[in-house]
Copies of this chain bind each other. A is one copy, B any other.
């Protein structure tokens, strides 16, 4: 890190708790690589303090923006002056840019980070048939980004079929030509299989769907980063499927979020 001086721009990551986040290291490495005099610091704010924190950070002229994470991603939407179309679709944001006049702009990079990670690994999305487990925040962001990347069909499997149907409806509103279905635990008949649930984070979690139906023609993608090889990915490997780890999603996101917030060299800005 370059030495912090009076002219260093400040970025934050706002979360509760915050001690476990690894984002400051990632964004500060990107700033260093890009030759930017900026620093990202952790901001530990509870839900009841979020509105005041946003109002205060808005007044800090050398504050460039912040990454927003658990549990603030939904609440932050209403604290911004403007939110991207995809942020409004998902109902959540994970990055805020502070404009020079103090306006706060929100956007979400979960989905686009996931899609960029896949594409960088050579997984082609256009025209493919996707099976998505989950209909929560992360799954929603991924679903909208996949729709934007012109997949042909998305089948959503979720414990609550109602939430799956609601997401399918929103996706059709966004892209009327998209084939959407509410699915079963059986992923057969799809090219890309995505775990958009948190199942696999804990050692004794059940598998998110029926892995005995996976085939060698399928790509199985995970959003969980730790453990790197989840029980799902281990099972997929055994069935001969191509596997895609959770980490590239974060790496792609860091780059995208850094650029969005303005962690960019003055000449390139």
A-to-B contact residues, CB < 8 Å: 1, 3-8, 10, 13, 16, 18-25, 28, 39-46, 49-50, 52-63
Contacts and interface: CB of A to CB of B under 8 A. Distances in A.
A54 B53 CA distance: 9
Given A4-B1, A5-B25, A61 B41 contact: no
A207 B55 CA distance: 45
Contacts of A39: 4, 39, 41
Contact of A57 (B1, B28, B54, B56): B56
Nearest to A3: B25
Given A3-B25, A4-B24, A42-B7, A18 B62 contact: yes
A245 B148 CA distance: 65
Nearest to A22: B6
For A4, A18, A23, A24, the residue with the greatest tally of chain B CB atoms inside 10 Å of its CB is A4
A4 B18 contact: no
A6 B42 CA distance: 5
A17 to B, nearest CB: 8
A41 B7 contact: no
A16 B62 CA distance: 11
Contact of A56 (B7, B16, B25, B52): B52
B10 A42 contact: yes
Contacts of A16: 61
Nearest to A20: B6
A94 to B, nearest CB: 16
For A22, A28, A44, A60, the residue with the greatest tally of chain B CB atoms inside 10 Å of its CB is A60
23 contacts: A1-B3, A1-B4, A3-B25, A4-B24, A4-B25, A5-B24, A5-B42, A6-B19, A6-B21, A6-B22, A7-B42, A10-B41, A10-B43, A18-B62, A39-B41, A44-B62, A46-B59, A46-B61, A49-B60, A50-B59, A52-B55, A53-B56, A55-B55
Contacts of A13: 6
B44 A60 contact: yes
Given A3-B25, A16-B61, A52-B59, 19 more contacts: A1-B3, A5-B24, A5-B25, A7-B42, A8-B24, A8-B41, A10-B41, A10-B42, A42-B62, A44-B60, A45-B59, A45-B60, A49-B59, A50-B59, A52-B55, A53-B59, A55-B55, A55-B56, A56-B56
A18 B43 contact: no
